[in-house]
Chains A and B, each alone.
Chain A
Amino acid sequence: DTGVSQNPRHKITKRGQNVTFRCDPISEHNRLYWYRQTLGQGPEFLTYFQNEAQLEKSRLLSDRFSAERPKGSFSTLEIQRTEQGDSAMYLCASTVAGANVLTFGAGSRLTVL
């Protein structure tokens, strides 16, 4: 068990480009969450999956954001036509339904120039 893995750890892109982040949760965890954290703020909920089903999506998530978890294992978060306001740390976390503790990955830091 290597914990929650996120890739890439850092991404620098130009405004208007698309970016994709990947999260590999702990293998037996069926719930997977995406959060966004900006400087001086706590993690803000974006979306979560139970197995492959996306059950909740924040109003913070504009149409440019899409997340998938096709086989109930790894997940991807894609941001299309990036804007400077998208610059943040994107955090993935996982847990088992019925448990109460989220285990976070190290995060993927996005910088949009």
Chain B
Amino acid sequence: DQQVKQNSPSLSVQEGRISILNCDYTNSMFDYFLWYKKYPAEGPTFLISISSIKDKNEDGRFTVFLNKSAKHLSLHIVPSQPGDSAVYFCAASDPGTYKYIFGTGTRLKVLA
């Protein structure tokens, strides 16, 4: 039972353009959503998060949008840079169990 889904395994974007990574979830009780970035042979690094009571959070080039009715969130990176090339995971926090559930990841490649 995959409660957090990232349906695009990979994405290629030209440098300077916008990257949009998507994530869907099934549990309406999730109260917090996070995006992590992961380079090979390293642990995931926290990028940005959003509370379930908000619909947008912005931090520099990174913006996360949450659509609760659609159970969908997206991460926008503008402008995309080659150093953004990595695997991106979305995660959701379950307040009932304190577990964080991760998606399967999207590999972003930013082309110079």
Same complex for A and B? Answer: yes
Taking Cβ atoms with an 8 Å cutoff, the residues of A that contact B are 4, 6, 31, 33, 35, 40-45, 48, 50, 55-56, 91, 93, 100-107, 109
Chain B residues touching A, majority SS: strand
How far does the alpha carbon of A40 sit from the alpha carbon of B36 in the complex, in Å? 15
Contacting pair B103 A100 (CB below 8 A): no
Query: What's the A-B contact tally at a CB cutoff of 8 Å?
Result: 61
Q: Which of under 10, 10 to 19, 20 to 34, or 35 or more describes the interface residues of B?
A: 20 to 34
Contact flags B45-58 to A (C-beta < 8 A → 1, else 0): 11001010000000
Contacting pair B99 A48 (CB below 8 A): yes
Chain A residues touching B, majority SS: strand
Contact partner, A105, options B43, B100, B101, Cβ 8 Å: B43
Chain B residue numbers with a CB within 8 Å of A31 are 98
Chain B residue numbers with a CB within 8 Å of A104 are 36, 43-45
